[in-house]
Amino acid sequence: MLHDCGMIELPWTINHLIHLRYLDISDNFGIQRLPESLSYLHNLQYFDLNNCQVQTFPAGITNLINLRQLISVDEIISKINNIGKLINLQTLPTFKVLKGDGHKLTELSSLTQLHGRLRIINLGNVEDKMEASAAKLYDKVHLDELVLAWTSNQNSSFNDNALHASEEILEEPQPHSKLKSLTIRGYRGARAPSWLRTETLASLETLRLENCGRWEDVSFIRQLLHLRSLYLKGIPAMKQTTRELFGRPIENKFFQGLKELVLEGMDLLDELSSLGNLPCLRILQISGMPAVKILGLEFYGFTYQGNHFPCLEELKFSNMSEWEEWTWTGDSELFPCLLVLKIEDCPKLKMLPPLPPSLTTLELKWTS
pLDDT digits (tens, 9 = 90+) for 9-53: 777 888 889 999 999 988 877 678 888 899 999 999 999 988 877
CA–CA distance, 149 with 137 (Å, rounded to integer): 15
CA–CA distance, 191 with 184 (Å, rounded to integer): 12
Amino acid 287: pLDDT: 96
| Beta strand segments in 245-290, E | 260-264, 283-287
Amino acid 345: pLDDT: 94
Name residue 326's beta-bridge partners: 295
CA–CA distance, 201 with 175 (Å, rounded to integer): 8
Higher pLDDT, 132 or 255: 132
CA–CA distance, 265 with 213 (Å, rounded to integer): 10
CA–CA distance, 284 with 313 (Å, rounded to integer): 8
Higher pLDDT, 289 or 297: 289
Amino acid 250: pLDDT: 47
Q: Tell me: pLDDT of 185 over 90.
A: yes
Residues 6+ apart with CB under 8 A from 309: 275, 276, 278, 281, 284, 300, 315, 334, 335, 336, 337, 338
pLDDT digits (tens, 9 = 90+) for 234-264: 998 888 778 788 765 445 567 889 999 999 9
Where along the chain do its domains lie? 1-71, 90-240, 241-368
> Architecture of 90-240 per CATH?
Alpha-Beta Horseshoe (3.80)
Residues counted in the chain: 368
Higher pLDDT, 295 or 155: 295
Mean pLDDT, residues 134-159 taken together: 82
CA–CA distance, 133 with 193 (Å, rounded to integer): 13
Same CATH topology for 1-71 and 90-240: the answer is yes
Tell me the pLDDT of the chain averaged across its residues.
87
Q: Tell me: pLDDT of 139 over 70.
A: yes
CA–CA distance, 135 with 143 (Å, rounded to integer): 14
Are 151 and 186 in contact by the 8 Å Cβ rule? The answer is yes
Q: Tell me: pLDDT of 228 over 80.
A: yes
Amino acid 354: pLDDT: 87
pLDDT band at 285 (very low <50, low <70, confident <90, very high): very high
Q: Tell me: pLDDT of 153 over 90.
A: no
In the chain, the percentage of residues whose pLDDT exceeds 90 is 51
The pair phi, psi for residue 57, each rounded to 5°, is: -100, 155
Mean pLDDT, residues 307-315 taken together: 90
Q: Tell me: pLDDT of 113 over 90.
A: yes
Q: Tell me: pLDDT of 122 over 60.
A: yes
**Domain 1-71 sits in which CATH superfamily?**
Ribonuclease Inhibitor (3.80.10.10)
Mean pLDDT, residues 161-187 taken together: 89
CA–CA distance, 291 with 268 (Å, rounded to integer): 6
| Position 200, amino acid | T
CA–CA distance, 238 with 220 (Å, rounded to integer): 12
pLDDT digits (tens, 9 = 90+) for 39-92: 999 999 999 988 877 788 888 999 999 999 999 888 889 889 999 999 999 999
Amino acid 96: pLDDT: 94
Amino acid 50: pLDDT: 84
Q: Tell me: pLDDT of 4 over 80.
A: no
The pair phi, psi for residue 287, each rounded to 5°, is: -150, 150
Q: Tell me: pLDDT of 110 over 70.
A: yes
Amino acid 240: pLDDT: 78
Amino acid 155: pLDDT: 44
Is 261 in a helix, a strand, or coil? strand
